[in-house]
Amino acid sequence: MQLQTHFALFDEGSKKEIRRAILKAVAIPGYQVPFASREMPIARGWGTGGLQITLSIIGKQDVLKVIDQGSDESVNAVNIKKLVNKTTGVETTIETSEATIIQSRHRIPEVPLTEKQIMVLQVPIPEPLRWVEPSEFKTKKLHAENDYSGAWLLLFEQIMKYGKTVTNADHPVFVHDRYVMAPSPIPRFDNTKMHQSEALILLGAGREKKIYAVPPYTNVNSLAFEDHPFEVESFDGKHCHLCHAATVFMDELINQETGESYYQCNDTSYCLAKLNEQEHMPEVVIEHAR
Amino acid sequence: MVIDVVHNTQEVFRTILHCMSRPGTIKNIDGIGSRMEQLEKCHHATFLSVMTLLDAEVSFHIIGGNAAVLEELFTAYTLSTATDLGQADYIFILQDAQPQMIHEVFRRAKKGTLMNPQQSATIIMETKKLSNDPLLTIRGPGIETMENVHIAESELWRFERAEANQEYPLGVDMILIDCQSNMMCLPRTTKFQDCEVS
């Protein structure tokens, strides 16, 4: 017997509550709106926040892409894609430009997003001040009072200790010059893609029960000191060993035999598209030349 | 089936989401669901918004029109409860609301608190006409540079709205609906700037 699940798994009451939270999040950019996070068929910490947003916004006309650290093929991405597809019947894709909803764990795709797309990011720890203040009540108060000295101090201490900020990912950002926000553990390389983005960006933290958003065309500035400007990961002189792209975020891999390191695009669908492009290089056919 | 509560409400929500994240953008939802005959006193799009946003967890308040009849109808369909203006999560300002009542709404509506700015009212307002004619310009998040808007009789509430939203992140968000089922949203971050006539 095949059980018929409700469209997009959730009951309509759950969808309504999450949708209301999403609308508030869009109206107050960067502010973490509390919501009644549901039990999901995947474990907490495996993308339940992103999944709840995706299931609440998705409709029959949508095309879904799910990535995990830039890969369309990882277990997490494939399972989430399958779950959404099974309960909604929507098409899935690996082409960034074809998708209307892109759910992602820790990356913003290399292909620029458009205004027809919604980016959904999975967030493990939505509170940028959690490292300096364990109490949720107190961090809420700090946000209310616009007191971000803790976030600045964290960066200052890193500079004192290491001569530079050492936030590999999840480097805090100022949204619309008011809220400091955790952009989810995307590399610093992707922080700049949030600034004045064409697409709406929704962020969901399931375990922490928070939804927040960055509307399109909104100022998103990474926290930095004047004498220590914000720096993204540099891949100067490096290129992808498969498609030779040089201006994208890359993973460093080690050749087991020689011990040498080489680089590869982190965004697999971008790499694949580039390889296919190179495969079909238009050749000039001499006999038709006039 | 007049309104498909699964798919029609999803379409309406996505429209509201699109408009809320891109203030000034006008989207039409006339084709979603079919009109209810007993709804002479509020626009089709207003009822669609009710079905999309309201349930037993939130409260609402109606200004203007035949409020008592509509209250009963909204509650019957969504299980949401009608409450006092200062407590309501959703405030509906119907087409025939008196100007002084509109002022009252912006004065008394919940603006949220600094700890919880999301505990504020959303105002769903019916208006005669929405367009992108260059009468007023708006700026803010979601708008690349500026957006031209024309909202019929907005002079009745623009100043009061600005007052209600002066202490960001406190404020009220608006969903505007006209009689052709056009929809436009103005979150608290959007600022009006009267056009200069050259």
What sign does the CA torsion over B44, B46, B52, B55 have?
negative
Which pLDDT value is given to residue A88?
A: 96
Residue of A nearest to B188 (CA): A27
Contact A216 B21 (CB under 8 A): yes
The minimum CA-CA distance between B20 and chain A, rounded to whole Å, is: 7
Integer Cα distance of A64 and B183 in angstroms:
26
Which pLDDT value is given to residue B117?
A: 98
Cβ-contact B138, B144 below 8 angstroms: no
Integer Cα distance of B188 and B34 in angstroms:
31
Q: Two tokens at B67?
A: 């409020």
**CB-nearest partner of B189 from A27, A57, A196:** A27
Q: Which chain A residues touch B188 with a CB distance below 8 Å?
A: 27-28
Query: What are the start-end ranges of the E strands in B53-154?
Result: 59-63, 81-82, 90-93, 122-127, 130-139, 147-151
Residue carrying structure tokens 């009789």:
B153
Q: What is the distance in angstroms between the CA of the first residue and the CA of the last residue of chain A?
A: 67
**Mean pLDDT on B158-169:** 96
Integer Cα distance of A128 and A122 in angstroms:
15
Residue carrying structure tokens 């039409």:
B28
Contact A27 B5 (CB under 8 A): no
Integer Cα distance of B126 and B49 in angstroms:
12
Number of Cβ atoms within 10 Å of the Cβ of A151: 19
**CB-nearest partner of B17 from A16, A22, A28:** A22
Integer Cα distance of A106 and A67 in angstroms:
9
Integer Cα distance of B101 and B69 in angstroms:
19
Catalytically active residues of A are 30, 240, 243, 265, 271
Task: Identify any residues that bridge with A243 across adjacent strands, giving them in sequence order.
Answer: none
Q: pLDDT band for position B42 (50/70/90)?
A: confident
- Supply the DSSP symbol for A106: S
- Can you list the alpha helix ranges (DSSP code H) found in chain B? 7-21, 44-53, 67-78, 99-108, 158-164
Q: pLDDT band for position A283 (50/70/90)?
A: low
Q: Which residues contact residue A205 at a Cβ distance below 8 angstroms, ignoring those fewer than 6 apart?
A: A32, A37, A49, A122, A123, A124, A125, A126, A211
Task: Identify any residues that bridge with A3 across adjacent strands, giving them in sequence order.
Answer: none
Integer Cα distance of A212 and A203 in angstroms:
5
Q: B4-34 pLDDT, tens per residue?
A: 999 999 999 999 999 999 999 999 999 998 8
Q: pLDDT band for position A287 (50/70/90)?
A: low
Q: Which chain B residues touch A196 with a CB distance below 8 Å?
A: 144
**What's the Cα-to-Cα distance from A63 to each of A52, A118, A159, B20, rounded to whole Å?**
17, 11, 43, 22
Residues 99-138 of A with CB under 8 A from B: 115
Q: pLDDT band for position A286 (50/70/90)?
A: low
Q: pLDDT band for position B196 (50/70/90)?
A: very low
Q: Which residues contact residue B194 at a Cβ distance below 8 angstroms, ignoring those fewer than 6 apart?
A: B136, B137
Integer Cα distance of B120 and B172 in angstroms:
6
Q: Which residues of B have a CB under 8 Å from any CB of A?
A: 5-7, 9-11, 13-14, 16-17, 20-22, 52-55, 57-58, 113-118, 120, 122, 141-144, 168-169, 173, 187-189
Percent of chain A with pLDDT over 70: 95
Q: Which chain A residues touch B115 with a CB distance below 8 Å?
A: 140-141, 144
- Residue A161 Cα to chain centre, angstroms: 29
What is the average pLDDT value for chain B, to the nearest integer?
94
Q: Is A257 exposed, middle or buried (0-12, 13-18, 19+ CB in 10 A)?
A: exposed
Integer Cα distance of A54 and A46 in angstroms:
14
Integer Cα distance of A244 and A246 in angstroms:
6
Evaluate if residue A289 carries a pLDDT over 50.
Answer: no
Q: B122-131 pLDDT, tens per residue?
A: 999 999 999 9
Q: Two tokens at A143?
A: 């946000």
Task: Identify any residues that bridge with A211 across adjacent strands, giving them in sequence order.
Answer: A33, A204
What is the average pLDDT value for chain A, to the nearest integer?
94
Q: Is A171 exposed, middle or buried (0-12, 13-18, 19+ CB in 10 A)?
A: buried
Residue of B nearest to A15 (CA): B10
Q: Two tokens at B165?
A: 């939203």
Q: Which helix (H) or strand (E) holds A278?
A: helix A268-279
Residue of A nearest to B57 (CA): A17
Query: Quick one: residue A104, left, alpha or beta (phi over 0 = left, psi -120 to 50 = alpha)?
Result: beta
| Pairing mode of beta strands B130-139, B147-151 | antiparallel
Nearest to B174 by CA among B195, B151, B193: B151
Cβ-contact A176, B21 below 8 angstroms: no
Cβ-contact B177, B19 below 8 angstroms: no
Q: B75-120 pLDDT, tens per residue?
A: 999 999 999 999 999 999 999 999 999 999 999 999 999 999 999 9
Contact B118 A34 (CB under 8 A): yes
**CB-nearest partner of B14 from A31, A57, A140:** A57
**Mean pLDDT on B151-175:** 96
What φ, ψ does residue A92 adopt, rounded to 5°?
A: -115, 160
Integer Cα distance of A213 and A93 in angstroms:
24
Q: A182-234 pLDDT, tens per residue?
A: 999 999 999 999 999 999 999 999 999 999 999 999 999 999 999 999 999 99
Contact B20 A27 (CB under 8 A): yes
